A = this chain, B = another copy of it.
Amino acid sequence: MAEISDLGEFGLIDRITKDFPLKNTSSLLGVGDDAAIMNYGDKDVLVTTDLLLEGIHFDLRYVPLKHLGYKSAIVNFSDIYAMGGTPRQITVSLGVSSRFSVEHIDTLYEGIRAACDLYGVDLVGGDTSASVTGLVISITCLGECEKGKEIRRDGAKPTDLICVSGDLGAAYMGLQLLERENRVSAQAGKEFQPDFAGKEYILERQLKPEARRDIVRALSEEGIHPTSMMDVSDGLSSELLHICRNSKVGCRVYEDRIPVDYQTALMAEELNMNLITAAMNGGEDYELLFTVPLTDHDKVENVKGVKIIGYVTQPDLGCAMITRDGQEFPLKAQGWNAFTEK
């Protein structure tokens, strides 16, 4: 294993960046100067950033470094797609403690590169440093969008349909599974082999999520321009409340319309957890939550992988879920909160 200190900061940067040729015409100059240079012509520029800290956002006892790199990039791409944009460039800053070797960093960047290759994004900058504590990953993503065509959180109107892509709660259940196996493994010692058979989907949702570029494209092909959109990172309840607060509206969502995968449901049962709570508050699904005008009902029904889960109301009606037996429960943001859970 090679020591990072033998390479030094600039050696490490050279090693990392040689496998990242620039792909986008908007990327004029990448790594290697005081700043990267881009030109977007007349497009709008989007910027989003995510900070991932060891012990808070990930646990290296059960998250492989390659997956971590992949996911760190994806969560940023997802934010750009959730604005209706296209991610184009990222900067990656790393704080690395001395227990990491050069090979560890290579593996982390393999994941970042895989995500960048799949989504057509350029690595154009960053900062690398030692860390006296855990691993720190800070990624900023730049993207582009046709001038004024961004889909914000504040455009939902009463009678709009509320839609969500894919299914919810799987990433959360994957995390529960990983944490359980990690606990059992710690007790059982070396001979323990975790059994993930039949649970591959929820594991992949937790470890290797995707950004829903396909949904953004499908909506565009159907001529649907959502009135508001967000990605589901903190949990559906929390994101719905954001849209409603920003758009100054209320909402109703139907419990029996919340899309849930079979493996998510099985895992919830196995762990004796409430399935709908997991789906509503689990977070990290990186699905798209959006609203469309009622007149787009038939069009949106044509889009594969999208489900209508409710509708937007006047603000005075508040935000509520309607259960299977017709009762109304106010939505609460029990989503992931980095300041209260730990």
Contacts and interface: CB of A to CB of B under 8 A. Distances in A.
Interface of A: 4-5, 7-9, 12, 28-29, 32-51, 53-57, 79-80, 82-83, 85, 89, 91, 93-95, 124-134, 136, 138, 140-143, 145, 147, 150, 152-153, 229-231, 246, 337-340, 342
Nearest to A231: B34
A91 B57 CA distance: 20
B125 A47 contact: yes
Contacts of A55: 132-133
Contact of A132 (B12, B230, B342): B342
Contacts of A141: 35
A194 to B, nearest CB: 25
A44 B38 contact: yes
Contacts of A51: 93-95, 127-129, 136, 138
A339 B91 contact: no
B35 A48 contact: yes
Contact of A338 (B46, B124, B130): B130
Contacts of A83: 33-35, 37
A29 to B, nearest CB: 7
Contact of A35 (B57, B143, B339): B143
